[in-house]
Amino acid sequence: MAINQKEAIKYNHKHLLGIQYLSIPEVNLILDESLAFVELNRQENKKLKILNGKTQINLFFETSTRTLSSFELAGKRLGADVMNMNVLHSAIKKGETLIDTAMTLNAMHPDILVIRHQDSGAANLLSQKVNCAVINAGDGRNEHPTQALLDAMTIKMKKGKIEGLRVAICGDIMHSRVARSNIYLLNMLGAEVRVIGPSTLMPKNIDAFGVKVFTNMEQGLEDCDIIMMLRMQTERMDGSYIPSTREYYEFFGLDYKKIKNAKEDALIMHPGPMNRGIEIDTSLADDINRSIIVQQVEMGVAVRMACLKILMESKQ
Amino acid sequence: MAINQKEAIKYNHKHLLGIQYLSIPEVNLILDESLAFVELNRQENKKLKILNGKTQINLFFETSTRTLSSFELAGKRLGADVMNMNVLHSAIKKGETLIDTAMTLNAMHPDILVIRHQDSGAANLLSQKVNCAVINAGDGRNEHPTQALLDAMTIKMKKGKIEGLRVAICGDIMHSRVARSNIYLLNMLGAEVRVIGPSTLMPKNIDAFGVKVFTNMEQGLEDCDIIMMLRMQTERMDGSYIPSTREYYEFFGLDYKKIKNAKEDALIMHPGPMNRGIEIDTSLADDINRSIIVQQVEMGVAVRMACLKILMESKQ
Amino acid sequence: MAINQKEAIKYNHKHLLGIQYLSIPEVNLILDESLAFVELNRQENKKLKILNGKTQINLFFETSTRTLSSFELAGKRLGADVMNMNVLHSAIKKGETLIDTAMTLNAMHPDILVIRHQDSGAANLLSQKVNCAVINAGDGRNEHPTQALLDAMTIKMKKGKIEGLRVAICGDIMHSRVARSNIYLLNMLGAEVRVIGPSTLMPKNIDAFGVKVFTNMEQGLEDCDIIMMLRMQTERMDGSYIPSTREYYEFFGLDYKKIKNAKEDALIMHPGPMNRGIEIDTSLADDINRSIIVQQVEMGVAVRMACLKILMESKQ
pLDDT at C5 exceeding the cut of 90 = no
pLDDT at B40 exceeding the cut of 80 = yes
The phi, psi pair for A77, rounded to 5°, reads -65, -20
Using a CB-CB distance cutoff of 8 angstroms, which residues of chain C are in contact with residue B91?
Answer: 63
Preceding omega of C273 cis (within 30 degrees of 0): yes
Is B238 or A190 the better-scoring residue by pLDDT?
A190
d(CA C224, CA C295) in angstroms, rounded, equals: 19
The predicted pLDDT at position B8 comes to: 54
pLDDT at B3 exceeding the cut of 60 = no
Ranking A101-110, A227-236, B23-32, C296-305 by mean pLDDT, the lowest is A227-236
Ranking A171-185, B293-307, C1-15 by mean pLDDT, the lowest is C1-15
The mean per-residue pLDDT over the stretch B240-252 comes to 91
pLDDT band at C91 (very low <50, low <70, confident <90, very high): very low
pLDDT at B1 exceeding the cut of 50 = no
d(CA A266, CA A254) in angstroms, rounded, equals: 12
Residue A298 forms contact with C (CB below 8 Å): yes
**Burial label, C301 (beta-carbon count in 10 A; 0-12, 13-18, 19+):** buried
Q: For testing the chain C interface, which of B85, B108, B113, B314 should be mutated: the one with the most C CBs within 10 Å?
A: B108
Size of interface A-C (CB pairs under 8 A): 66
The mean per-residue pLDDT over the stretch B34-51 comes to 97
The predicted pLDDT at position C87 comes to: 74
The predicted pLDDT at position A88 comes to: 61
| Chain A residue closest in CA terms to B70 | A108
**Burial label, C260 (beta-carbon count in 10 A; 0-12, 13-18, 19+):** exposed
Q: What separation in angstroms does the CA of A86 have from each of A68, A106, B64?
A: 11, 16, 10
The mean per-residue pLDDT over the stretch A43-72 comes to 94
The predicted pLDDT at position A62 comes to: 86
The mean per-residue pLDDT over the stretch B49-53 comes to 97
d(CA B179, CA A153) in angstroms, rounded, equals: 54
The predicted pLDDT at position A49 comes to: 97
pLDDT at A92 exceeding the cut of 60 = no
- Would the CB atoms of C272 and B55 count as touching at under 8 Å? no
Among candidates C310, C313, C316, which has minimal Cα distance to C16? Answer: C310
d(CA C223, CA C260) in angstroms, rounded, equals: 9
- Would the CB atoms of A66 and C104 count as touching at under 8 Å? yes
Using a CB-CB distance cutoff of 8 angstroms, which residues of chain B are in contact with residue C276?
Answer: 96, 100
Per the CB < 8 A criterion, the answer to whether B197 and B203 are in contact is no
CA A67 to chain centroid, in Å, comes to 9
pLDDT at A83 exceeding the cut of 70 = yes
The mean per-residue pLDDT over the stretch A209-237 comes to 93
The mean of the pLDDT values for chain B is 92
The predicted pLDDT at position B88 comes to: 61
The predicted pLDDT at position B150 comes to: 98
pLDDT at C9 exceeding the cut of 80 = no
Which residues fall within 8 angstroms of residue C304, CB to CB, at 6 or more apart? C70, C71, C74, C146, C150
Proportion of chain B above pLDDT 70, given as a percent: 94
pLDDT at B174 exceeding the cut of 80 = yes
The predicted pLDDT at position A99 comes to: 85
Q: For C169-187, write each residue's pLDDT tens digit.
A: 999 999 999 999 999 999 9
Residue B207 forms contact with C (CB below 8 Å): no
Query: From the list B47, B63, B297, which residue is nearest A107 (CB)?
Result: B297
Which pairs with CB-CB distance under 8 Å and at least 24 residues apart come from A72-76?
A72/C83, A73/A301, A73/C55, A73/C81, A73/C83, A73/C108, A74/A301, A74/A304, A74/A305, A74/A308, A75/A51, A75/A112, A75/A308, A76/C55, A76/C81, A76/C83
pLDDT band at A238 (very low <50, low <70, confident <90, very high): confident
Among candidates B180, B172, B199, B192, which has minimal Cα distance to B253? Answer: B172
Q: For testing the chain B interface, which of A58, A81, A113 should be mutated: the one with the most B CBs within 10 Å?
A: A81
Using a CB-CB distance cutoff of 8 angstroms, which residues of chain B are in contact with residue C300?
Answer: 108
**Burial label, A260 (beta-carbon count in 10 A; 0-12, 13-18, 19+):** exposed
- Would the CB atoms of A77 and C55 count as touching at under 8 Å? yes
Is C206 or C239 the better-scoring residue by pLDDT?
C206
Among candidates A41, A69, A71, which has minimal Cα distance to A56? Answer: A71
Using a CB-CB distance cutoff of 8 angstroms, which residues of chain A are in contact with residue C100?
Answer: 272-274, 276
Query: From the list C42, C47, C273, which residue is nearest B109 (CB)?
Result: C42
Ranking A168-177, B207-216, B282-291, C62-71 by mean pLDDT, the lowest is C62-71
CA C103 to chain centroid, in Å, comes to 26
The mean per-residue pLDDT over the stretch B241-248 comes to 90
Residue B313 forms contact with C (CB below 8 Å): no
pLDDT at B127 exceeding the cut of 50 = yes
Question: How many other β-carbons are positioned within 10 Å of the β-carbon of residue B33?
Answer: 18
Query: From the list C91, C108, C316, which residue is nearest A73 (CB)?
Result: C108
The predicted pLDDT at position B238 comes to: 73
Residues in chain A: 316
d(CA A227, CA C229) in angstroms, rounded, equals: 56
Q: For C121-173, write each residue's pLDDT tens digit.
A: 999 999 999 999 999 999 999 999 999 999 999 999 999 999 999 999 999 99
The predicted pLDDT at position B133 comes to: 98
User: For A87, how many CA atoms within 13 A lie in the half-sphere containing its CB?
Assistant: 25
Preceding omega of A145 cis (within 30 degrees of 0): no
Preceding omega of B273 cis (within 30 degrees of 0): yes
* 3-state SS record for B189-242: CCCEEEEECCHHHCCCCHHHHCCEEECCHHHHCCCCCEEEECCCCHHHCCCCCC
Using a CB-CB distance cutoff of 8 angstroms, which residues of chain B are in contact with residue A83?
Answer: 69, 72-73, 76
The predicted pLDDT at position A7 comes to: 54
Using a CB-CB distance cutoff of 8 angstroms, which residues of chain C are in contact with residue A74?
Answer: none
Which residues fall within 8 angstroms of residue A238, CB to CB, at 6 or more apart? none
Query: From the list C52, C55, C103, which residue is nearest A73 (CB)?
Result: C55
d(CA A288, CA A296) in angstroms, rounded, equals: 13
Q: Are strands C55-60 and A192-196 parallel, antiparallel or unpaired?
A: unpaired
- How far does C269 lie from chain A, in Å, by closest CA? 35
Query: From the list B63, B73, B294, which residue is nearest A103 (CB)?
Result: B294
List subunits contacting chain C, requiring 3 or more Cβ pairs under 8 Å: A, B
Per the CB < 8 A criterion, the answer to whether B166 and B200 are in contact is no
d(CA C294, CA C291) in angstroms, rounded, equals: 8
The predicted pLDDT at position A90 comes to: 41
Q: For B88-111, write each residue's pLDDT tens digit.
A: 644 454 445 788 888 999 999 999
Q: For testing the chain C interface, which of B55, B92, B103, B104 should be mutated: the one with the most C CBs within 10 Å?
A: B104
The mean per-residue pLDDT over the stretch A143-165 comes to 98
Q: For testing the chain A interface, which of B45, B47, B282, B286 should be mutated: the one with the most A CBs within 10 Å?
A: B47
- How far does B213 lie from chain A, in Å, by closest CA? 31
d(CA A161, CA A129) in angstroms, rounded, equals: 38
d(CA B109, CA B101) in angstroms, rounded, equals: 13
The CA-based angle C90-C92-C94, given to 5 degrees, is 115
The predicted pLDDT at position C294 comes to: 96
The predicted pLDDT at position B270 comes to: 97
The per-residue b/e assignment along C113-139, b for 16 or more CB within 10 angstroms, e otherwise, is: bbbbbeeeebbbbbbeebebbbbbbbb
pTM of full prediction above 0.90: yes
Q: What separation in angstroms does the CA of C104 have from each of A66, A152, B231, C70, C271?
A: 7, 18, 43, 25, 32
Q: For B130-173, write each residue's pLDDT tens digit.
A: 999 999 999 999 999 999 999 999 999 999 999 999 999 999 99
Residues facing B167 on adjacent strands: B193, B226
- Would the CB atoms of A108 and B42 count as touching at under 8 Å? no
Residues facing A117 on adjacent strands: A139
Using a CB-CB distance cutoff of 8 angstroms, which residues of chain A are in contact with residue C109?
Answer: 41-42, 46, 298, 301
Give the ranges where chain B is alpha helix by DSSP (H).
2-8, 24-41, 66-77, 96-107, 122-129, 145-159, 177-188, 217-220, 245-252, 282-286, 293-315
- How far does C298 lie from chain B, in Å, by closest CA? 5
Residue B124 forms contact with C (CB below 8 Å): no
Per the CB < 8 A criterion, the answer to whether C251 and C217 are in contact is yes
Which residues fall within 8 angstroms of residue C315, CB to CB, at 6 or more apart? C14, C111, C133
**Burial label, A204 (beta-carbon count in 10 A; 0-12, 13-18, 19+):** exposed
pLDDT at B86 exceeding the cut of 90 = no
pLDDT band at A8 (very low <50, low <70, confident <90, very high): low
Per the CB < 8 A criterion, the answer to whether C47 and C79 are in contact is yes
ipTM over 0.95: no
pLDDT at C234 exceeding the cut of 80 = no
| Chain C residue closest in CA terms to A298 | C107
According to DSSP, residue C254 is labeled: B
d(CA A158, CA A160) in angstroms, rounded, equals: 6
The predicted pLDDT at position C95 comes to: 44
Q: For A241-275, write each residue's pLDDT tens digit.
A: 888 889 999 999 999 999 999 999 999 999 999 99
